[in-house]
Amino acid sequence: MSEVKAYGAKKQAASLEEMTIERRELQPDDVHIKITYCGVCHSDIHTVQNDWGNSKYPVVPGHEIIGKVVAVGDKVSNYKKGDLVGVGCMVDSCRECSACKDDLEQFCEKGMVGTYNGPNKHLGGHTFGGYSQEILVDQNYVLSIPENLDEKGVAPLLCAGITTFSPLNHWGVKKGDKVGVIGLGGLGHMGIKFAAAMGAKVVMITTSPDKAKDAKRLGADEVLISKDEDDMKKHKGSFDFLLNTVPVGHDINPYLELLKRDSTMVLVGAIEPLEKMHGGNLILGRKRVAGSLIGGIKETQEMLDFCGKHNIVSDVEMIDIKEINKAYKRVVDSDVKYRFVIDMESLN
């Protein structure tokens, strides 16, 4: 066991502060990683706030992890000292259930082990995430990073990237489809980039008119202000696919009206009760609402390789760890362009 510095919240809704956590001894299948960068996901904030009712304290968030391998266990074959690697939202799963066998570990029937706030089978208690100097992760849950990409911009791909890539991929978004991305934050800005790279006609659907220019720079062909009823009417019944990243419970009816017959809106943001959905919005047009959770390890590697090929990274604002509490407030205020990434050197 070794002690490393970390940043976390000691109790619900507390400010994050420096603390010391324990990391396990190197196991035969382990990759020991010195963390260089860690992205800040809205889920980190939900967990600190206990918005989902299952947080365990202290919480050390962080599941968009990039770092250098400093050592590997005897059985590790895919990674070696010095490699640049990534770790996303999960660090283990049962590996035996039908979901794990189908490369969908995020839906493991026994529950995937979250990078933070998951059960820690090595040391007891719960897992601690990437707002820390080092982490040890089983080789099967470590990702390989394409060398041509900027390290800082890669960190958010490990959650925001895969969470938006996976539904676009799974629902078969293709060239020429009209795709709407709802909410221009960390997830949304990756959704625009991926949908554009897949050849779709992308419409950014936002509550913030001042983000319009950025949305176009990121790859959107058009911007739709969701608060503008006339603008919403113009786009009624015209979308082949909607990716909804709104982080809180909200009225999805106005968005359902935007879908074409037989089309789908996928929710990835609001993991909480939604306001009442009008059945007519599904029945009249045979429309669907679905959900999606990150992506499996295999698909996450495919997403990273896709990013390497298309030169896709996240647009990031770098912060020192001491600025994390201010950054959380800005994320909640929808004032992030478009992902905060912590330079973990600032914790040393």
**Interface with Zn ion by CB under 5 A: which residues?**
41, 43, 93-94, 97, 100, 108, 159
Minimum Å gap between C-beta 96 and Zn ion is 6
Q: Which of residues 160-179 bind ligand NAP (CB under 6 A)?
A: 163
Selected binder of ligand NAP within 223, 331, 341, 347 (CB under 6 A): 331
- Report the nearest approach of ligand NAP to the CB of residue 76 (Å): 27
Contact track, ligand NAP, 260-289, x by CB under 6 A:
--------xx--------------------
Specify the residue, 142 or 336, whose C-beta has the smaller distance to ligand NAP: 336
Q: Report the residue from 27, 264, 334, 346 that binds ligand NAP according to the rule CB under 6 A.
A: 334
| 115 touches ligand NAP (CB under 6 A) | no
Helices within the chain (DSSP H only) = 42-49, 98-101, 151-154, 160-170, 186-197, 212-218, 229-234, 253-256, 280-283, 297-310, 324-332
The whole-angstrom separation of Cα 218 and Cα 189 is 7
Count the residues of the shown chain that bind ligand NAP, applying the rule CB under 6 A: 29
Q: Which of residues 34-63 bind ligand NAP (CB under 6 A)?
A: 41-43, 46
Q: Where does the chain show beta strands of DSSP type E?
A: 2-8, 17-23, 30-39, 65-72, 84-87, 90-92, 113-114, 134-138, 143-144, 178-182, 201-206, 222-225, 239-244, 259-267, 288-291, 316-319, 339-343
Scanning 108-116, 138-146, 201-209, 313-321 for contacts with ligand NAP by CB under 6 A, the matching segment is: 201-209
Three-state SS at 122? coil
On the CB side of 342, CA atoms within 13 Å amount to 32
User: Is residue 29 a contact partner of residue 67, using CB atoms and an 8 Å limit?
Assistant: no
Q: Does 244 bind ligand NAP (CB under 6 A)?
A: no
In angstroms, give the least distance from the CB of 79 to ligand NAP: 25
CB atoms within 10 A of CB 268: 25
Contact residues toward ligand NAP (CB under 6 A) are 41-43, 46, 159, 163, 183-188, 206-208, 211, 245-248, 250, 268-269, 292-294, 331, 334, 336
